Amino acid sequence: MANKKVWVRTFSPTGNAYKIAARVGLRMSVSMACGLDFDEFTLPQEREESCKLSLGEKDHLVMVLPVYAGRLPNKILPWVREGFKGQGATATAIVTFGNRNCDSALGELKQELEANGFRVTSAAAIVSEHVFSDKLAKGRPDAIDMQSIDKFALDSVTAIDRTDALDIGSRAEVGPYYVPKKMDGEPAKFLKAKPLRDDGKCTRCSQCAMVCPMGSIKKEDTSVVEGVCIKCQACIKVCPNGARYFDDEDFLSHRDMLIENFTRPADNEFYI
Ligand SMILES: Cc1cc2nc3c(=O)[nH]c(=O)nc-3n(C[C@H](O)[C@H](O)[C@H](O)COP(=O)(O)O)c2cc1C
């Protein structure tokens, strides 16, 4: 690992992936006594700038992405695919998921990085509070998770020098997207749902427009959501007055189904 530099990149609409990325990147670079370059590609303008990384053998990338429907966020996948060239660089692949399951996302991230010329030397799937409800993994990653994440970061430093291939077991298989279910077990169809605005509560501060990773909320009139909505909940979490909300019945039923079935504490998975 001599003379390596650590690069950290994350897409994180509501901050969980960001928190993990910062912790792992910092721990690794301190342990390696090397430089650290940290950047996110959450917003459209950030993607234009940050998704142009061409690395080499003296670099180590830490990539942290949230799990959406058991896979990587599909609107972000092209940026991961086009924007990061490894050319022999090593990488740590991390996904964070909201207490249901990470399904195929870790295998997908590992595959994508390897296809781009990275050698993935460590990987993890880390539980974090689900953006749909704080009843799912509330407050995670917590202090105990952070201890495990710190250990993983230090183990990841050692793993950079590995000569064998990293084994992530059954997570290596990439299956179809998870189909969200309603309370009655039927598929929840909320692809076209968009966040509404309570005009009585909204103070027209436009913060919701500024954090939308798709740039879909019109800044001059935030009642207008003209582009794609990926249901990331960034607009809902950032609003200081609770003025944004979803009223889509399928979406709300899916959220209730998750609360009904997935409140047990899920385990982190670390692969070294
Ligand atoms: C559209 C969407 C789909 C999601 N799908 C899953 C899932 O399949 N499994 C799961 O456990 N969590 C799922 N989550 C929860 C997120 O992975 C989790 O809340 C993550 O921490 C969000 O990352 P962020 O805070 O960096 O935005 C989903 C969240 C969203 C917005």
Atom of ligand 1 lying closest to residue 178 CA: 8
* Residue 2 reports pLDDT greater than 70: no
**What separation in angstroms does the CA of 113 have from each of 8, 40, 64, 139, 201?**
14, 17, 12, 30, 44
Domain CATH number, residue 201:
3.30.70.20
Three-state secondary structure of 2-15: CCCEEEEEECCCCC
Residues 173 and 203 in one domain: no
Residues 200 and 146 in one domain: no
Give residue 215's domain range: 196-247
- The pTM (predicted TM-score) of the whole model is 0.98
pLDDT at 35: 96
pLDDT at 3: 80
Residue nearest to atom 29 of ligand 1 (CA): 68
Domain CATH number, residue 128:
3.40.50.360
199 three-state secondary structure: coil
pLDDT per residue as tens digits for the range 127-151: 999 999 999 999 999 999 999 999 9
Residues 61 and 110 in one domain: yes
117: DSSP letter = T
Atom of ligand 1 lying closest to residue 19 CA: 26
* Residue 1 reports pLDDT greater than 90: no
Q: Which residues line ligand 1 (CB under 6 A)?
A: 12-18, 66-70, 96-101, 128, 130-131, 178, 230-233
pLDDT per residue as tens digits for the range 62-72: 999 999 999 99
Residue nearest to atom 28 of ligand 1 (CA): 68
Read off the amino acid at residue 44: P
pLDDT per residue as tens digits for the range 81-116: 999 999 999 999 999 999 999 999 999 999 999 999
pLDDT per residue as tens digits for the range 205-240: 999 999 999 999 999 999 999 999 999 999 999 999
Residue nearest to atom 2 of ligand 1 (CA): 68
Average pLDDT, the chain: 97
Residue nearest to atom 12 of ligand 1 (CA): 98
Distance from residue 135's CA to the centre of ligand 1 (Å): 13
Q: Taking residues 192-216, what's their average pLDDT?
A: 98
Atom of ligand 1 lying closest to residue 234 CA: 27
